Structure 1
Amino acid sequence: MNIQPEAFLRTLFQTAVERVAPERALPGQVPEPPTGRTLVIGAGKGAAAMARALERLWPGPLEGLVVTRYGHAVPCQRVLVEEAGHPVPDERGVQATARILEWVSDLSADDLVIALISGGGSALLVQPAPGLDLATKQAVSRALLRSGADITEINCVRRHLSAVKGGRLAAACHPARVVALLVSDVAGDDPAVIASGPTVGDATTCADARAVLERYRLRVPTAVDEVLRTGRGETPGPEDPRLAGVENRLVATPAQALEAAAERAREAGVTPWLLGDAITGESRVVARDQATLARRIAAGEGPVQPPCVLLSGGETTVTVRGRGRGGPNAEFALAAALALEGHPGIWALAADTDGVDGTEDNAGAWVGPDTLDAARRAGVDPLACLTDNDAYGFFAALGDLLVTGPTLTNVNDFRAILVLPR
């Protein structure tokens, strides 16, 4: 067997991303045309690519607007594309959201709204609840992102501070039929969590949002506390009659991406071992656990024998305590390198399927048996970098960042740990 570890791991990542690309995900999921108008709206890192794929599939008239992250736009013929800030919302997002609400303000029961929703939509589809302004929402978003809260908790708060999330966007489309096509970037693929569920009735309450803020000891502006405490931020519930005609369809999921990578591994004669597509927790803790399992396998004590690859997805988090740069995947890779201690038979790659690890320009990073030795030669202290949350700086110094640019889809983290026989 002639496996080139870095090339092999990169191929698995690319295979996973290609499986959940909009052009692969949308065929067979598009609804029948209505007797009235067809309007396209949407938000997320994959929204523009989804709109382009839909245009190629749609047989009749089509119009609308989607908003995506800066750098993630693609040319569309009939659907307008706006770019805005992510992960912290900005004024461009507010303006784009206002235009979307204008588009859906005069629909009839004969019309169809196709909502294209993907990860990142929480920050991109933004209109503060009455009594709040953008600066306040930005401050809360930054605090949540640094707190270590997971995406479910973050989105619970976002829904109750928004005029469009938690089913409010779909309610604004009433009485038109709404079909939402969803690319899942969340553990468990819950449509209510993807982009904070703009087309899904919300089962959480303002009290739940307050509990998240209290759990992470986050102090928020008085206006936020008032919106939550008075119940002004309550969202439409699952039984809201305005949502009766809404259909939410999952068109791409983390499990699909992992299974595509697993199949590619099998073709190469490497046994895949799937650890799960919904793994959450602190990146460095998950990395230590998976590195420990890989070392057991290398020693012949694990559930599978080398050559094998451990595959996992989900969304790990970083509680920021230092001043460095780096997202959850680079931090996973750095923590894994420390835990593996230069093991001669183990390599690893961790990357975000959207091509952006947190707020940086890399998708993630990769690790090999020589990572720690290379760091010492470069004068870089791996433990100090981990303590400072500076995984980006660590891998940049080694030239081991994985940089892909925007992939135009998003099913969250992809991790692969390759164990070869010695």
Structure 2
Amino acid sequence: MSWTDDTARDALRRLFDAAVRAADPRAILAGHLPAPPAGRVVVVGAGKSAAVMAAAVEAAWPEVALSGLVITRYGHAVPTRRIAVVEASHPVPDAAGEAAAARVLAAVQGLGPEDLVLALISGGGSALMALPAAGLTLADKQAVNRALLASGATIQEMNCVRRHLSAIKGGRLAAAAAPARLLTLAISDVPGDDPAVIASGPTVPDPSTFAEARAIVAHYGIDLPPAVAAHLEAAAGETPKPGDACFDRATFRLIAAPQRALEAAAAEARALGLTPLLLGDALEGEASVLGTVLAGIARSVRTHGHPLPAPAVLLSGGETTVTLRPGQRSGRGGRNLEALLGFTLAAAGAPELWALMGDTDGIDGSEDNAGAIATPDTLARAAAAGLDARALLASHDSHGLFSPLGDTIVTGPTLTNVNDFRAILIA
């Protein structure tokens, strides 16, 4: 087909929508449920998808007596009749999330072997289900979360620290639920799909240690509240490890993941006459640097036909980071817009290159957009509008470029989350 700006934009949006549909709990969750048990069914969970997952359980089990509650981000609730839904703050926890986490822990206690705990876990659960370990406060957890988010630490590193500051994460929810049967249905938003990292693994063994958490804090030079530093140093009450008896009746099922979303986008790309190349579902690193690297690959396709000839689309997922200098305040825009701005500057107006980068949960950072689209003339349009792209990148204000140009993508909460999605179309 002949690629114009309009057809390229439409194609990229179709790829993004295909990736999100592949992770929609309303379409996929029911097939992972067991036969309804004879005993009680207690449903708990946390994450950006937790409410819609709970609604999907109710739809699949209309006659089953269900109780329990799930915690989701503000604005992500959906109507339910038997499972309570509580909204809380993300990415920094709040009192609503702390109180709801205490209710979740209480809901699974005192059950018997004939009962079933159904845990619905998705990305965002670490912040949403924040129950500080003994001796720590919510303010302690908030301070550590803010420091981790600004440090440049990977999600694996951040969640290692979070597990060791929690009374519910790192397998502790599973320990509270024993001896009941425990089934976790999870949607992965983390590179590698490690169950211990998804929402900080409340229902699975934690192979990490207090010593590893201390090493991460030291590596990034994070200034901890005194109570947190003392807690990590004391290393009392380690998380349950692989082989612990509390996991004997626990099962973990991954129902959606970044790779599956990329494969759905690849199928859509083929239908559009594009050859897809999946670069991986676990790309990490500094957002703007990754954008620069992806621009280099795209230019190679356009100029040399390597690693594949055009028309093609490069697909990737994962979770990048944005590192702030000490004392620097973040501008507007999340990691996907920052990666896209890095791509735009590196592509430097190369013809027939378009890119979409966005978060599959519908919210990139703290603004109302899922991501944005860059076009061959983005820099020219920005200059005409008096926007300094390099200065905006330096101040981490990528939203300040793409929003005035009308290139942001606003979907609202998608009610799923399989992390970042990046598609680069080479005509």
Q: Alignment partner for residue 290 of structure 2, among 276, 286, 290? A: 286
How much does 1:80 deviate?
A: 0.6
Work out the CA distance in 1 between the residues paired with 2:267 and 2:94: 41
The whole-number CA distance in structure 1 between the counterparts of 2:36 and 2:95 is 34
Partner residue in 1 for 2:71: 67
Correspondence for 2:257: 253
Alpha-carbon shift at residue 71 of structure 1 (Å): 0.3
Give the whole-Å Cα distance in 2 for the aligned partners of 1:276 and 1:230. 39
In structure 2, what is the Cα distance between the partners aligned to 1:21 and 1:301? 35
Q: Check conservation: 1:177, 1:246, Cα contact below 8 A.
A: yes
Deviation at 1:254, TM superposition (A): 0.4
Match of 2:255, SS state, is strand
Equivalent position SS for 1:274: strand
CA deviation after TM superposition for structure 1 residue 300, in Å: 2.2
Q: Does 1:273 align with 2:277?
A: yes
Alignment partner of 1:277: what SS?
A: strand
The alpha carbon displacement at 1:233 in A equals 5.1
Which of residues 174, 181, 187 in structure 2 aligns to 1:183? 187
Partner Cα separation in structure 2 for residue 342 and residue 62 of structure 1: 56
Q: CA deviation at 1:32?
A: 2.1
Q: Under a length normalisation based on structure 2, what TM-score does the superposition of the two structures give?
A: 0.97
Q: Name 1:96's counterpart in structure 2.
A: 100
Offset, 1:395: 1.0
Unpaired runs of at least 5, structure 1: none
Q: What amino acid is the match of 2:342?
A: A
1:373 aligns with: 380
**Aligned length in residues:** 420
Give the match's secondary structure for 1:175: coil
* 1:383 has 2:390 as partner: yes
**Hey, what does 1:15 align to over in structure 2?**
18
**1:161 and 1:233 in contact (8 A); partners too:** no
**Equivalent in 159, 162, 176 of residue 163 of structure 2:** 159
Percent identity between the two aligned chains: 57
Partners in 2 of 1:49 and 1:390 — Cα distance? 32
CA–CA separation in structure 2 for the residues paired with 1:7 and 1:281: 29
Residue 44 (1) aligns with residue 78 (2) = no
Distance in structure 2 (CA, Å) of the matches to 1:363 and 1:339? 22
TM-score by structure 1 length?
0.98
- Residues 282-327 of structure 1 show CA distances to partners (whole Å, capped at 9, x for unaligned) of 1111111110010010012411111100000011111123531111
Distance 1:310 1:123 in 2: 32
Structure 1 residue 24 displacement after superposition: 2.0
Q: Find the residue that maps to 1:417 and give its secondary structure.
A: strand
* 1:10-37 deviations in Å (ceiling 9; x for gaps): 1110110011000122132002222210
Report how far residue 102 of structure 1 moved. 1.9
- Give the Cα–Cα distance (whole angstroms) in 2 for the partners of residues 295 and 100 of structure 1: 50
Structure 2 residue matching 1:311: 3-state secondary structure: strand
Q: Report if aligned partners of 1:31, 1:179 keep a CA contact under 8 Å in 2.
A: no
Structure 2: which 5+ runs fail to align?
A: none
Please report how far the alpha carbon of residue 232 of structure 1 lies from its aligned counterpart in structure 2 after TM superposition: 2.1
Structure 1 residue aligned with 2:416:
409
CA distance in 1, matches of 2:273, 2:67: 47
Provide the aligned C-alpha RMSD in A.
1.0
Matches within 5 A, 1:322-337: 322-323=328-329, 324-337=331-344
Cα distance in 1, alignment partners of residues 96 and 38 from structure 2 = 33
Matching of residues 9-408 of structure 1 within 5 Å:
9-58=12-61, 59-232=63-236, 234-321=238-325, 322-323=328-329, 324-408=331-415
Give me the whole-angstrom Cα distance separating, in 1, the residues matched to 2:95 and 2:237.
21
Structure 1 segments of 4+ aligned residues over 3 angstroms from their partners:
none
